[in-house]
């Protein structure tokens, strides 16, 4: 029997609907959650992502600004812009789109973002909070979205063996932290594989839940998956396809046509993890605004 499709578009839309009540409450208290996206240079995929994030803010009724800077921007100029956004009361969340140009030190920039506005969850303070399960920390949007996909598809990770392929700071590592947590959406036994893992197939075949974020098109093939496993594909890769007008098509890190015959449930690309990432960015921006309003009103 082919795998059940996990529909990230539908789950993401439902979750954005659920967020509307809280956005209304905040507005009633005089707080419109605001997001600033900072984009440096001309990476076409980054421009697309930032445009989609802005559109999602508009649709949800959030305030947003996109700050587009030329590729030659110096690190000092970028740091000065972040300082300005840290002090701006209209802005509750700041997102610096990655990758940054090579002459800029990414860590230095990410560490300059006020941890209370770090809706990407990349500042060490938030990495630490997420690692110890402190709910005031911001969970990076992609792994947070994967966790929500599992919970809302009744694929609760508790007691399961979750194998993550990829150890990036944006997906693999925070994914492991979330699935390890003691609570709903967590309680998994977690293994993280990466480019140096020996006999990776022997490991991925043990997964009840296989999460793939390695950035290699169609890396996971049918023989790497245990029959009936849940497969979450975080990859977004452009593959040349001259038969299409735009000249490329999007494929994930999973060989979908092969793996869907083996898996019990699977996310498509596009329409799986992608819409959830944007949804969780909205959740994080609302969380930032809520925490800011609590502090303003002395609610602790």
- For the segment 156-215, give every residue that binds ligand GUN (CB under 6 A): 170
Cβ distance to ligand GUN smaller for residue 3 or 35: 35
Which residue lies nearer to ligand GUN by CB, 113 or 266?
113
Q: Which of 258, 233, 136, 130 is nearest to 186 (CA)?
A: 130
CB of 46 to ligand GUN, least distance (A): 7
Q: Which of 142, 147, 279, 287 contacts ligand GUN by CB under 6 A?
A: 142
3 state SS for 159-213: CCEEEEECCCCCCHHHHHHHHHCCCCCCCCEEEEECCCCCCHHHHHCCCCEEEEC
Question: What is the rounded CA–CA span in Å between residue 145 and residue 273?
Answer: 7
Distance CA 236, CA 249 (A): 10
Q: Does 253 bind ligand GUN (CB under 6 A)?
A: no
Q: Among residue numbers 71 through 110, which ones bind ligand GUN (CB under 6 A)?
A: 95-98
Report the Cα 80 to chain-centroid distance in Å. Answer: 26
- Report the chain's C-alpha Rg in angstroms: 19
- Give per-residue burial for 151-175: e unless 16+ CB within 10 Å, then b: ebbebebeebbbbbbbbbebbbbbb
Interaction between residue 141 and ligand GUN (CB under 6 A): yes
- Rounded-to-integer distance, Cα 170 and Cα 157, Å: 20
Length reported for the chain: 300
Among all residues, which ones are annotated catalytic? 53, 97, 120
What minimum distance in Å lies between the beta carbon of 123 and ligand GUN?
Answer: 12
User: Smaller CB distance to ligand GUN: residue 96 or 262?
Assistant: 96
Full 3-state SS string of 212-236: ECCCCCCCECHHHCCCCCEEEECCC
Least distance from ligand GUN to the Cβ atom of residue 120, Å: 5
In this complex, which beta carbon is closest to ligand GUN, that of residue 19 or of residue 280? 280
Q: Which residues contact 114 (CB under 8 A, 6 or more apart)?
A: 86, 94
The CB-of-184 to ligand GUN minimum distance in angstroms stands at 23
Give the nearest distance from C-beta 226 to ligand GUN in angstroms. Answer: 28
Name which of 31 and 40 has its Cβ closer to ligand GUN: 40
What is the number of the residue whose Cβ is closest to ligand GUN? 98
Count residues near ligand GUN (CB under 6 A). Answer: 8
Residue nearer to ligand GUN on the CB measure, 36 or 210: 36
Closest contact distance (angstroms) between CB of 97 and ligand GUN is 5
Tell me if 113 contacts ligand GUN by CB under 6 A.
no
Q: Which residues bind ligand GUN (CB under 6 A)?
A: 95-98, 120, 141-142, 170
């Amino acid at each position: 029997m082919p795998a059940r499709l996990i529909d990230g578009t539908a789950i993401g839309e439902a979750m954005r609907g659920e967020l509307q009540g809280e956005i209304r409450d905040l507005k009633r208290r005089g707080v419109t959650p605001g997001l600033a996206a900072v984009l440096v240079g001309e990476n076409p995929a980054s421009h697309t992502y930032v445009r989609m994030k802005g559109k999602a803010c508009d649709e949800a009724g959030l305030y947003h600004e996109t700050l587009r800077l030329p590729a030659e921007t110096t690190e000092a100029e970028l740091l000065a812009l972040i300082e300005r956004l840290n002090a701006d009361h209209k802005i509750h969340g700041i997102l610096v789109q990655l990758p940054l140009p090579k002459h800029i030190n990414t860590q230095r920039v990410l560490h300059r973002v006020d941890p209370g506005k770090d809706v990407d969850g990349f500042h060490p303070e938030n990495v630490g909070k997420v690692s110890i399960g402190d709910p005031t920390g911001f969970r990076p949007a992609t792994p947070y979205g994967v966790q929500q996909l599992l919970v809302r598809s009744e694929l609760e990770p508790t007691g399961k063996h979750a194998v993550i392929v990829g150890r990036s700071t944006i997906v693999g590592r925070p994914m492991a932290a979330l699935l390890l947590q003691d609570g709903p959406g967590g309680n998994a036994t977690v293994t993280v594989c990466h480019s140096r893992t020996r006999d990776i197939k022997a490991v991925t075949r043990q997964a009840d839940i296989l999460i793939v974020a390695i950035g290699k098109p169609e890396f996971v093939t049918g023989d790497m998956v245990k029959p009936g496993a849940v497969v979450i594909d975080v990859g977004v890769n452009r593959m040349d396809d001259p038969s299409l007008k735009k000249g490329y098509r999007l494929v994930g890190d999973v060989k979908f046509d092969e793996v869907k015959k083996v898996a019990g449930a699977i996310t498509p690309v596009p329409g799986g993890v992608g819409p959830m990432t944007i949804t969780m960015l909205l959740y994080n921006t609302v969380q930032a605004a809520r925490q800011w309003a609590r502090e303003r009103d002395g609610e602790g």
